A = this chain, B = another copy of it.
Amino acid sequence: MTDTTWMYENFEPAGSAIGYRVTRKLDEVQSPFQKIEIYESTDWGNLMLIDGAMMLTTRDNFLYHEMMSHPALFTHADPKQVVIIGGGDCGTLREVLRHPGVEKAVQCDIDEQVTRMAEKYFPELCESNGDSRAQLLFDDGIAYMANCAPSSVDIVIVDSTDPVGPAEGLFNRAFYESCFRALKDDGILVQQSESPLVLLDLIREMRGEMRKAGFNAFQTLPFPQPCYPTGWWSCTLARKHGDDGFGFREVDARDKAFATKYYSADTHKGAATLPPFVAAALAE
C-alpha cells in the first residue's frame, strides 16, 4: 500500500479550500517568477501548483482549456490569428489549434519553466507544440500585447493565474488597451474570470476596466472546474461592438471535426444563459 497525504489549498479571498490526496512530490522548481511544484495524486493524475495555488490536474483540465478556447473561437466569424497570453501549460494552445481555420497561434508566457514542466508531466497538453502554426514565446505578455501590430489579431486569450503576482498587470485598463489596439474590429478578448459564485466583484471590476479600454460588449460563461476555488469558474468574452447578446457559429460548433469532452454547441448555449443571481450582479 502506498503512503498518501492530503494536501490543501486555502483560498483566502473566499474562505474556502480545495484539497487532493497525493502520493508524492514529483518535482519542484523555483523559476525567476514563481515556484512550480508537481505532485502525483491518487485520483486526479498529476497536479501542478504555482506558488501554492492549484493550476491544473490531469483529470479535470479539459474543462478549463475547452472553455477558454472554443466559445471564443466559435463566436468569432473566422478566427485566423490567435494570441494566448500566459497559458504556459499549452493546453489552451492545443485546443485553439484544433480549429483548422487558425493560421497562427502565438503563446506568450513569461515563465518558460511552466512549459518545461508541462512537457514532462502533462505531455498530452503539449502534443500540438510542434504544429507549424504554433509559436511559443517566453516573454512578458504585457509588453507583447503593447508591441503587437494594430488590428492584427482575431482573438486574444488571457490564460493567466489569479490577479496577484506576475499576473496582476493582466487585469487592468492599460493591458486591455493594448489588447483593444491589437485586435481587429471584430476581434474578441477572452479572459479567465474566476468564480462566479464568490468573485462577482472581480468580474464586475474586470468588465469595468475592459469598458474603459474601449470594449463595448461582454459575455461571462460559467463552467465547472473542480481544481479551482468553489469548483465553479468562468471566462469573460469582450468585443468592441454590438451588445451583450453574443451569438455564435452554432452549426459549425455542432459539426466540428474534432472531439471535445465538455464543450459542445449545447453546453455553449447553456453557459451563455446566466443564472439569475449572476445576471443580476453583473447588471448592477
Contacts and interface: CB of A to CB of B under 8 A. Distances in A.
Interface of A: 6, 8, 10, 12, 14-21, 41-44, 60, 62, 197-198, 222, 224-226, 230-232, 259-264, 266-267, 269-271, 273, 275-277
A17 B20 contact: yes
Nearest to A279: B264
A95 B224 CA distance: 24
Contacts of A231: 224-226, 230-232
A224 B15 CA distance: 18
Q: Is the interface of A mostly helix, strand, loop or mixed?
A: mixed
Nearest to A20: B16
B264 A273 contact: yes
B17 A19 contact: yes
How many copies of this kind of chain does the complex include? Answer: 2
Contacts of A230: 224, 226, 231
Residue in A15, A263, A277 whose Cβ sees the most chain B Cβ within 10 Å: A15
Contacts of A224: 197, 222, 224, 230-232
Contact of A18 (B12, B16, B270): B16
Contact of A264 (B19, B261, B267, B276): B276
30 contacts: A6-B10, A10-B19, A14-B43, A15-B43, A16-B20, A16-B21, A16-B44, A17-B17, A17-B20, A18-B18, A18-B19, A43-B198, A60-B197, A62-B277, A224-B224, A224-B230, A225-B231, A226-B230, A226-B232, A231-B231, A231-B232, A260-B276, A261-B277, A262-B275, A262-B276, A263-B275, A264-B273, A266-B273, A269-B270, A270-B273
A273 B267 CA distance: 7
Residue in A42, A260, A275, A277 whose Cβ sees the most chain B Cβ within 10 Å: A275
Contacts of A262: 275-277
Contacts of A225: 231
Nearest to A10: B6
B277 A273 contact: no
A15 B8 contact: no
Contact of A275 (B19, B60, B267, B273): B267
Contacts of A42: 15
Contacts of A15: 20-21, 41-44
A232 B273 CA distance: 18
A196 to B, nearest CB: 8
A246 to B, nearest CB: 14
